[in-house]
């Protein structure tokens, strides 16, 4: 009987990582969560189905990292938003070194966002260095550069209809092809398993670029109300920089040119909306 291969997902249970784990599970892989010390393994059980195993290791302990990656065929890592210069790159270098020693065959690195081309910023510069590290590293690698994630715009799902507002941190006049986590997970599986994906970076994105007002109108239609955009603060320094500097590269987040190369079809906004739990209008006293 063939042994089901193992993918190690670095960064679980946080951020974009759970959906990447779900996608590999759906594709028939066993998932091993690679946790940093201090992460509560109990939290993992609330984000992934039972049967996912966990291993804890710090980038400062190479021997522990190698042990955590033993028997792993693919390493799926999502770039952390580091607080100190060089911290994220050091994390990735340690992962690459341990993966090579453990015999890992493939790496897929999800940058978590798409650095704006031609725009200098510490966050973008760090992500570019990580991409270079991965593609030139000792393990055959692919890199994903996603457009902004729809679930990060709407972390609590659909907005409350009675509020009539869509909190929106991006420039409202800029078109963005919002990517769903489901599509991100599918892209990670394809990037990690396709032979023609090795050594390449892929700009992945949502099905359709929309300005803020158009997005609010589509979501409002699903709720049966008219939504107004409300200026909102981005959830982190990296996204704040992305939205603040987007006018310098206005078309940078409009496409998913890498989708076709990975043979994936981005989930549409209508499909995503159909999956969301219904929200009813509540009476406001």
Of residues 137, 148, 83, the one with CA closest to residue 106: 137
Q: In the numeric block, which tokens belong to residue 14? A: 């946080």
Residue 282's pLDDT is what?
43
pLDDT band at 11 (very low <50, low <70, confident <90, very high): confident
Superfamily of chain region 6-275: NAD(P)-binding Rossmann-like Domain (3.40.50.720)
pLDDT digits (tens, 9 = 90+) for 67-124: 999 999 999 999 987 667 888 999 999 999 999 999 999 999 999 999 999 999 999 9
The residues spanned by each domain of the chain are 6-275
Q: Position of tokens 């090579």?
A: 100
CA 217, CA 207: separation in Å to the nearest integer?
A: 17
pLDDT digits (tens, 9 = 90+) for 83-93: 678 889 999 99
Distance CA 24, CA 193 (A): 11
């Amino acid at each position: 009987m063939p042994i089901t291969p193992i993918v190690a997902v670095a960064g679980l249970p946080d951020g974009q990582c759970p959906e990447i784990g779900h996608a590999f599970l759906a594709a028939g892989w066993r998932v091993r969560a690679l946790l940093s010390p201090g992460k509560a393994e109990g939290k993992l059980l609330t984000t992934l189905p039972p049967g996912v195993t966990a291993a804890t290791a710090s980038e400062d302990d190479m021997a522990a990292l190698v042990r955590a990656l033993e028997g792993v065929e693919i390493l799926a890592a999502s770039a952390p938003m580091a607080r100190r210069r060089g911290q994220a790159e050091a994390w990735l270098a340690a992962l690459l070194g341990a993966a090579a020693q453990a015999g890992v065959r493939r790496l897929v690195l999800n940058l978590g966002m798409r650095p704006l081309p031609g725009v200098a910023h510490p966050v973008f510069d760090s992500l570019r260095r990580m991409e270079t590290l991965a593609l030139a590293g000792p393990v055959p690698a692919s890199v994903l550069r996603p457009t902004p994630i729809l679930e990060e715009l709407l972390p609590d799902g659909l907005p409350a209809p009675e509020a009539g507002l869509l909190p929106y941190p991006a420039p409202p006049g800029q078109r963005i092809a919002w990517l769903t986590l489901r599509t991100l997970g599918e892209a990670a599986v394809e990037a990690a398993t396709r032979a023609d994906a090795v050594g390449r970076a892929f700009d992945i994105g949502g099905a359709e670029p929309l300005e803020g007002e158009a997005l609010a109108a589509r979501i409002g239609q699903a709720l049966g109300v008219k939504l107004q955009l409300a200026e909102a603060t981005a959830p982190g320094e990296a996204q704040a920089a992305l939205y603040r500097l987007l006018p310098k590269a206005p078309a940078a987040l409009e496409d998913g040119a890498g989708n076709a190369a990975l043979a994936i079809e981005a989930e549409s906004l209508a499909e995503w909306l159909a999956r969301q739990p219904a929200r009813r209008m509540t009476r406001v006293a």
